[in-house]
Chains A and B, each alone.
Chain A
Amino acid sequence: MNSDDWLRAFAAELHQRRVGADAARHVVAEAATHLREGGGDPWVVFGPPRQYAGVIVESIGTAPGPRPGPVRLHAQGITKRYGRRTVLRDATLTVRAGQIAAVIGANGCGKSTFLRICAGLISPDDGAVTVSGRLGYCPQSGGTADFLLADEHFVLVGAGQGMARGPARRAGRVAARQLGWEAGGDVLARHLSGGTRQKLNLTMSTLSDPDVLLLDEPYQGFDQGTYVNFWDQLSRLRDAGKAIVVVTHLLNQLDRVDTVLDLTPAQPSGWLAPGAQGGHP
């Protein structure tokens, strides 16, 4: 486990203990600075991530995270077939305001399909989705316009909400900065790196101030080292009372979510994530 892995695990432990997002960010950054300056094995310098997170909580306390609020998204018995192939069978997920749900499973198990059904982009063959509030959706790819600047994307999203150009641009840049990205450049979207285009996508999906945020593998292609920003941002949105659904296949990130829907088809001795809500029978 190298320093980055240790820091990632440490950040996850703090998150799990409901240390406030900003406080956690400072503590992780301070530990990272210390390791950069002094070198050394983080397991010796700070100890196991779990143990050190416990010590930190004793020192600074936890920010009592807002209690989960009302149900924002309820997907019940979702079944989807393509021809004779059943992609989803009886998948059920409930997410409340102030919660992050992860949808996990192997490639091709229907994660993106499930999310698109939640977004109302395709219809299930069986089951129903109830959404309470405004919906934001961040697709896995696409969603950006090649020949527009980031700023112009923000103006476009703002126009949809009757927002003037200036404020829309500023809101976009502020939201982008929280992902560690300075969006005010004069680079067309098609010339942005894949990771930065994803940040643009994620930024746009948060701009309409949605109550429910659906993110399809949003970190894919994110630059090295920006994971902290991404999960910080997610924690911040959660603490602001959003209901968030993240499609992911990275198991070590599950620590930072409140509930898990595993869509992996049942195996003889299936591993079930803690807090799993069930998917395939």
Chain B
Amino acid sequence: MDSDRRGQWLRGVLDICVLALLRERESYGYQLAQALDAAGVGPIQGGTLYPVLLRLQRTGLVTARWREGSAGPARKYYRLTDDGHAALRQGGSDWLTFVAPVNDIVTKGVAG
């Protein structure tokens, strides 16, 4: 896949993906990157992911706290706030509203 184009798409939707993953459980950067990769989004570098997390934290959509792991280093865990839940609902449905017609158009184009 064209990596420039993938980067542009990601920039538009990575925050919503992160919010959606955090809705299930609190998590830390490396784990989120692995979850995104495992879901098929592809590898997300730390340099892309952490600025998004920090922005979400600054705008109050997530909170963060450091916690010692049972083994290994202390990690910064992120958790969705009420505002984060609201932003996920709004941003998520906006995204779906946007991609549905895009998918229609592209699907027809590719099939034809």
- Please list the residues of chain A having a beta carbon within 8 angstroms of any beta carbon in chain B: 26-27, 29-38, 44-47, 52, 55-56, 58-61
Contacts and interface: CB of A to CB of B under 8 A. Distances in A.
Given A46-B45, A59-B58, A31 B50 contact: yes
Contact of B47 (A32, A38, A55, A58): A55
A35 B33 CA distance: 12
Contact count band on B: 10 to 19
B51 A55 contact: yes
A60 B11 CA distance: 17
B47 A46 contact: yes
Given A26-B76, A36-B73, A38-B30, A31 B51 contact: no
Contact of B58 (A29, A36, A44, A61): A61
A27 B54 contact: yes
Nearest to A34: B46
Contacts of A38: 30, 33, 46
B58 A27 contact: no
B54 A37 contact: no
13 contacts: A29-B76, A34-B29, A35-B46, A38-B30, A44-B45, A46-B45, A46-B47, A47-B47, A55-B51, A59-B55, A60-B54, A60-B58, A61-B58
A34 B46 CA distance: 7
B30 A34 contact: yes
Contacts of B55: 59-60
B74 interface: yes
Contacts of A32: 73
Interface in B38-72: 45-47, 50-52, 54-55, 58, 66, 72
Determine chain B's interface SS by DSSP, over half rule: helix
A182 to B, nearest CB: 16
Contact of A33 (B33, B45, B76): B76
B37 to A, nearest CB: 11
Contacts of B76: 26, 29-30, 33
B85 interface: no
Contact of A37 (B30, B47, B58): B30
A186 B28 CA distance: 38
A233 B92 CA distance: 42
Contacts of A34: 29-30, 46, 50
Contacts of A29: 66, 74, 76
A37 B72 contact: yes
B39 to A, nearest CB: 17
A30 B50 CA distance: 9
A32 B29 CA distance: 11
B73 A33 contact: yes
A261 B76 CA distance: 39
Contacts of A30: 29, 50, 76
B23 interface: no
Contacts of A59: 50-52, 54-55, 58
Given A46-B45, A59-B50, A59-B51, 12 more contacts: A26-B66, A27-B54, A34-B46, A37-B73, A45-B45, A45-B46, A45-B47, A46-B46, A46-B47, A56-B51, A58-B51, A59-B58
B51 to A, nearest CB: 4
Interface in B59-108: 66, 72-76
A30 B75 CA distance: 7
B46 A31 contact: yes
Contacts of A46: 45-47
B20 to A, nearest CB: 20
A119 to B, nearest CB: 39
Contacts of B73: 32-33, 36-37
